[in-house]
Amino acid sequence: MDKLIITCAITGAEVTKEHNEAVPYTALEMADAAYGAYKAGASIIHLHARMDDGTPTQDKERFKILIDAIHKKCPDVIIQVSTGGAVGMTRDERLDVLKNNPEMATLDCGTLNFGGDDIFVNTENDIKYFANKMNDLGVRYEMECFEKGHIDTTIRFIKKGIIKNHLHYSFVLGVRGGMTGEERDFLFLKDSIPENATYSVAGIGRYEFTLAELSIKHGGHVRVGLEDNIFIEKGVLTKSNAELVGKVVSIAKKYNREIASPQEARKILGMEKQ
């Protein structure tokens, strides 16, 4: 099995300090959170930008400040910027971050309900538009799939040559409106992607560590972080992103799965540092 790539989704767009005080907003908080996660074993930081008051933004200038602050503390870590942003943002607003020429970004592969009245919109034309932009700029993308239909869309797009970099999936399971994160869901998705693809699993809320363990056992990769889950165990708020990463590292030890450094992660994902 490949070494384990741990991605840490340090902040997201929905969770706030009211949910957990450790959610980072400022550049200093983001850099500290990323550094802690990196020291604990994360090789990829999945990054959303927020203003100092926590408001989500895709503004390229704000992203640049955050990326620079993180790279100052951990220069070799892979920063995967979100092109999902927050519910309600326009296509071009979400893509503003690409002007920073990031090493990696997300490509969201379908629309879904996102709790309450929210809909996270990713039409077929949106996905094409995002993929074409990233292909043109040479940005590596991770395909975020919240249910099986999203994987089917990627397979059609691969056949058409629209999706064409190393095939790396992220199964984001447990969103209210997407697929749940039971073992059968994980096995179904894992068996539905192309043979040459790699995958990572992000379990939302209570699914975070059960899915991490399943993915570790089956040779997949793992994403954890405050964007996805604010608890270290049932009813106990986590102190930090680093603590969540540390828990994954201890699960990996149980299965003798070594942890990938950022450079090793680049190799596994067929990326070269630009």
Chain contacts with Zn ion (rule: CB under 5 A)? 82
Whether the CB-CB separation of 212 and 249 falls below 8 Å is answered with: no
How is residue 87 written in tokens? 């519910």
Contact with ligand KMH (CB under 6 A) among 58, 106, 154, 198: 106
**Interaction between residue 108 and ligand KMH (CB under 6 A):** yes
Question: Among Zn ion, ligand KMH, none, what binds residue 152 when CB lies within 5 to 8 Å by partner kind?
Answer: none
The stretch near ligand KMH (CB under 6 A) out of 18-26, 78-86, 127-135, 215-223 is 78-86
Site for ligand KMH in 9-38 (CB under 6 A): 12-14
Least separation in angstroms between residue 1's CB and ligand KMH is 26
Quick note: the x/- pattern for ligand KMH over 34-73, rule CB under 6 A, is ----------------------------------------
Footprint on residues 197-256 left by ligand KMH (CB under 6 A): none
For β-strands 78-81 and 56-57, DSSP reports them as: unpaired
**Distance between CA atoms of residues 273 and 84, nearest Å:** 23
Find the shortest distance in angstroms from Cβ 96 to Zn ion. 16
**Considering CB distances under 5 to 8 angstroms, the limit depending on partner class, which of Zn ion, ligand KMH, none binds residue 260?**
none
Q: Which is nearer to ligand KMH, 58 or 215 (CB)?
A: 58
Q: What is d(CA 170, CA 147) in angstroms, rounded to the nearest whole number?
A: 11
Question: 113: buried, middle or exposed (CB in 10 Å: 19+, 13-18, 0-12)?
Answer: middle
Among 24, 36, 41, 84, binds ligand KMH (CB under 6 A): 84
Among 5, 33, 74, 86, binds ligand KMH (CB under 6 A): 86
Residue 255 backbone phi and psi in degrees, to 5:
-105, 15
**CA angle, residues 121, 126, 129, in degrees to nearest 5:** 160
- Closest to ligand KMH by CB, 57 vs 83, is 83
- Closer residue to ligand KMH (CB): 13 or 22: 13
In 3D space, the residue among 215, 262, 207 whose CA is nearest the CA of residue 45 turns out to be: 262
User: Which among 7, 8, 12 has a CA at the least distance from the CA of 23?
Assistant: 12
Closest CB to Zn ion among residues 86, 163: 86
Q: How far is the CB of 95 from Zn ion (least distance, A)?
A: 15
**Residue 267 has what DSSP assignment?**
H
Minimum distance, C-beta of residue 202 to Zn ion, in the bound complex (Å): 8
Pick the closest to residue 47 from 103, 120, 112, 124 (CA basis). 103
- Could you tell me which stretch among 7-15, 123-131, 217-225, 242-250 binds ligand KMH (CB under 6 A)? 7-15
What does the alpha-carbon distance between residue 122 and residue 109 come to, in Å, rounded to a whole number? Answer: 7
Residue 178 contact among Zn ion, ligand KMH, none, beta carbon within 5 to 8 Å by kind: none
Q: Are 235 and 30 in contact (CB under 8 A)?
A: no
> For residues 274 and 87, what is the distance between their CA atoms, to the nearest angstrom?
31
